Amino acid sequence: MERERESRLHPRQLGPANEIQIRAPLRVSPAQRIKTMMATQEMVLNTWGNRLRQAHPDLSDLQLCRMVFERLKQNG
């Protein structure tokens, strides 16, 4: 517990691998970054919708869509 508290108070330094991962998207064109972001968003929304459909098979498409957007509001 103390270690967890300490890690929040003293953030770790970024290592070389972290810096590479952070800088990699900067080498891609802005248009490609937006395409990637949109594809990722679509995948996340589809995943949420599919999981909610499995958990609530009785919901209408409209109700399911509302639940997805409620989750989006909660999780940003």
Q: How many distinct structural domains can be found in the chain?
A: 1
Q: What angle do CA 66, 31, 46 make, to 5 degrees?
A: 25
**pTM: predicted TM-score of the whole model, two decimal places:** 0.60
**Domain extent for 27:** 2-75
Res 50: pLDDT? 95
Question: Predicted confidence band at 65 (pLDDT cuts at 50, 70, 90)?
Answer: very high
Q: How far apart are CA 43 and CA 53, in angstroms?
A: 15
pLDDT digit string, tens, across residues 1-51: 555 555 555 567 767 778 888 888 888 899 999 999 999 999 999 999 999
pLDDT tops 90 at residue 59? yes
14 by DSSP, 3-state: which? coil
